[in-house]
Chain A
Amino acid sequence: MEIDCSELEVREINRMIKEAVKNGEEKILLLNPGAKHYLSAGVVGNVEIQVKGSAGYFAGTMIHGVRMIIEKNSGWFTGDNMTEGYIEVKGKAGDGVGQGIYGGTIVVRESAGARTGEIMKNGTIIIGGNSDFMTGLYMMGGRIVVLGNLRGMAGESIVRGAIYVKGDVDSLGKNAKLVEINEQDEEWLKEILKAHNFPAFTEKFRKIVPIRKRFVYGSAPSEEG
């Protein structure tokens, strides 16, 4: 199924997507997305949505089970609060990738903006390039993998979860420490990198974890918890 977004309001696009999913559609192409905001917001179901261009803010926010492929860039807050599913951004992403996600996987092939994985609770975020300022801000669980460099205050106020980084770390935030990866980490990294078509070499990888694990109301402990 194809939806030409050029003349449609986002509300109409999302209504059409939800209607198509309800009718059992398994693949939807969004043509001429024009970097519109909220594409595929709140869609639930086993469907692949291909965005043939750039998406704006909150692409795939609150999705559950959806596989979303964005052919170019995505704006701020990609995958915000998603619970399950997969989002791949083939270009760059803006700030707040995977803000508050509860599960699922987000892959950004190039670089991401500031505050990647802010308050994420679970799930996995992979950034192929650099990730900017305060990656993992208030992180409560899950894993972030960065193949490039991390800019300043990485892991600021992290309480659970881990940030794996291959490149340089400009500086660490409060409650964050940089440690060597162990065998389990290496295995997991190799597996996840291979699964998402990145070179599965784990040399140079280190990880950022919390110094202290403070109590978090109602959270399920992650692997690092």
Chain B
Amino acid sequence: MCGIVGILSRKKREDLGSIVIEMMKRLQHRGRDGAGIALYGGLNLADDEFLMRVEIQGEEEERKKLVEVLTSIVDRYGSVKSIQNLIENYEYSITDFKIEKINFKILKKLALEVQSLENVAVLSAGKYEMFKDVGTIDFVDSEYHVSDKTGTHAIGHIRFSTESGVDRYHAHPFQSFLYPDITVVHNGQITNYWNTRKKLEAKGHYFTTYNDTECIVHYIADKLLDGYSLEEALQNAVKDLDGPFAFIIATPKEIGIAKDKLGLRPAMVAEGDGLFAISSEEVALEPLNLETEYLAPGDYRVYRM
């Protein structure tokens, strides 16, 4: 079933993290397999600075060695500014590498190299923050303290697994390393996944899972790289992607939603006072007290800062 939310504010908000968490809590009944958020506009990075969030598996000594390997790789592409463990336990860590003297094109190469290492997975690389894990939104919030985060926009996902594995890598959002800071959350199934994936792989898109949602982010990234606007990319997605779906895309300045042409997955949008919100259900929009609208089958919307 899954639940999806999106929120965009024209001004940076101190309470953006707590808003998106509250919206997601209200959709918890739609699944308990995982929860994730991509949050934008809260990192205050310089132009040549980026954040790479990785999961490092192994016991403490093994992880220390992997951090050394990672540091040497990062230093070949740019320069490590800081390293911070967000989560650390006996079997893995979630570790942030703040990297300077780098641009997105080079970051992309770095992320793909790091992704190929054994016992290391890139959770996000860019100027936004990704928080995702198995379990409930309360658990994810208690681990990552998303409620305390500031920002301009965010998308979130409550997972009821129907496709692929139930672990941190298969929780949404998914991102592309080919287009800067693009992420997706999705409710539904993409039934022409394999045909779409083959076409995208032939064009150089790199898949990290067999989850059908990942296909969407590469599809949209591909269209944006070809010069389409987000509206045009979403319009094409409704035409080209089969199956029941509603998905939300975030980029550094936008959030957008598209719904399948038969209208088989729910989606509502709401706006007012420079705030734009999207949700699977009205229950998540209630606290915002905005004017709501049901999205029609085949419809799509984009909200910009």
List residues of A whose CB falls within 8 A of some B CB.
Answer: 34-37, 53-54, 56-57, 73, 75-76, 92, 94-95, 111, 113-115, 132-133, 151
Of the stretches B53-61, B139-147, B286-294, the one at the interface is B286-294
B245-286 residues with Cβ-Cβ distance < 8 A to A are 262-263, 266, 281-283, 285-286
| Chain B residues numbered 287-305 whose CB sits less than 8 Å from any CB in chain A | 292-294, 296-297
Q: Which residues of B contact A34 (CB under 8 A)?
A: 26, 283, 286
B297 lies within 8 A of A76 (CB)? no
B257 CB, min distance to chain A CBs, angstroms: 15
With known contacts A34-B286, A76-B266, A95-B266, A114–B281 Cβ distance under 8 A = no
Contacts of A56 in B (CB 8 A): 281-283
29 contacts between A and B (CB under 8 A): A34-B26, A34-B283, A34-B286, A35-B285, A35-B286, A37-B29, A37-B283, A53-B286, A54-B282, A54-B286, A56-B281, A56-B283, A57-B281, A75-B282, A76-B266, A92-B292, A92-B294, A95-B266, A95-B294, A111-B294, A114-B262, A114-B263, A114-B296, A114-B297, A132-B263, A132-B296, A133-B296, A133-B297, A151-B296
* Listed residue (B26, B285, B297) with the most chain A CB atoms within 10 angstroms of its CB: B297
Q: Shortest distance in angstroms between A1's beta carbon and chain B's nearest beta carbon?
A: 23
Give residues in B with beta carbon < 8 Å to A: 26, 29, 262-263, 266, 281-283, 285-286, 292-294, 296-297
Closest partner residue, chain A, to B279 (CB atom): A35
- Which residues of B have CB within 8 Å of A76? 266
Q: Give the residues in chain B near A53, CB-CB below 8 Å.
A: 286
- Residues of chain B within 8 A (CB-CB) of A95 are 263, 266, 294
Nearest-Cβ distance from residue B295 to partner chain A, whole angstroms: 9
Task: Determine the distance from Cα of A114 to Cα of B292 in the docked complex, in whole angstroms.
Answer: 17
**A94-B294 CB under 8 A given contacts A113-B263, A132-B263, A133-B262:** yes
Q: Which of A36, A133, A151 contacts B283 (CB 8 A)?
A: A36
With the chains together, A84 CA to B292 CA distance in Å? 30
The dominant DSSP class at the A interface is loop
Report the bound CA distance from A135 to B297 in whole Å.
12
Expressed in whole angstroms, the minimum distance between the Cβ of B158 and any Cβ of chain A is: 15
A162 to B72, CA, bound (A): 72
CA–CA, A197 and B281, complex, Å = 29
Q: Are A35 and B266 within 8 A (Cβ)?
A: no
B266 contacts across to A, CB distance below 8 A: 75-76, 94-95
Within the complex, the shortest CB–CB distance from A137 to chain B, in Å, comes to: 11
Contact between A133 and B294, CB atoms less than 8 A apart: no
- Known contacts: A75-B281, A95-B263. The answer to whether A113 contacts B286 by CB under 8 A is no
Task: Tell me, in angstroms, the Cα distance from A53 to B286 when the chains sit together.
Answer: 9
With contacts A92-B292, A92-B293 known, what are 17 further pairs, Cβ within 8 A? A35-B283, A36-B283, A37-B29, A53-B286, A56-B282, A57-B281, A73-B292, A75-B281, A75-B283, A94-B266, A95-B263, A95-B266, A111-B294, A113-B263, A113-B296, A114-B297, A132-B294
Q: Name A53's closest neighbour in chain B (CB-CB).
A: B286
Q: How far is the CA of A132 from the CA of B263 in the complex (A)?
A: 9
User: How many angstroms from the CA of A113 to the CA of B297 in the assembled complex?
Assistant: 9
- How far does the alpha carbon of A36 sit from the alpha carbon of B29 in the complex, in Å? 11
Instruction: Give Cα A192–Cα B133 distance, bound, in whole angstroms.
Output: 53
B295 nearest CB neighbor, chain A only: A113
B283→A132 contact, CB < 8 A: no
Cα of A77 to Cα of B122 in the assembled complex, Å: 41
Chain B residue at smallest Cβ distance from A91: B292
Q: What is the CB-to-nearest-CB distance from B188 to chain A, in angstroms, rounded to a whole number?
A: 14
A-side contacts of B292, CB under 8 Å: 73, 92
Task: Enumerate the 3 nearest inter-chain pairs by beta-carbon distance, A residue then B residue, closest first.
Answer: A35-B283, A35-B282, A114-B263
Report the separation of the CA atoms of residues A202 and B196 in the bound assembly, to the nearest whole angstrom: 50
Partner of B297, one of A35, A57, A75, A132: A132
Contacts of B293 in A (CB 8 A): 92
Residues of A within 8 A of B294 (CB): 92, 94-95, 111, 113, 132
Complex CA distance for A57 and B26, rounded to whole angstroms: 14
Give Cα distance in the complex from A54 to B286, angstroms. Answer: 8
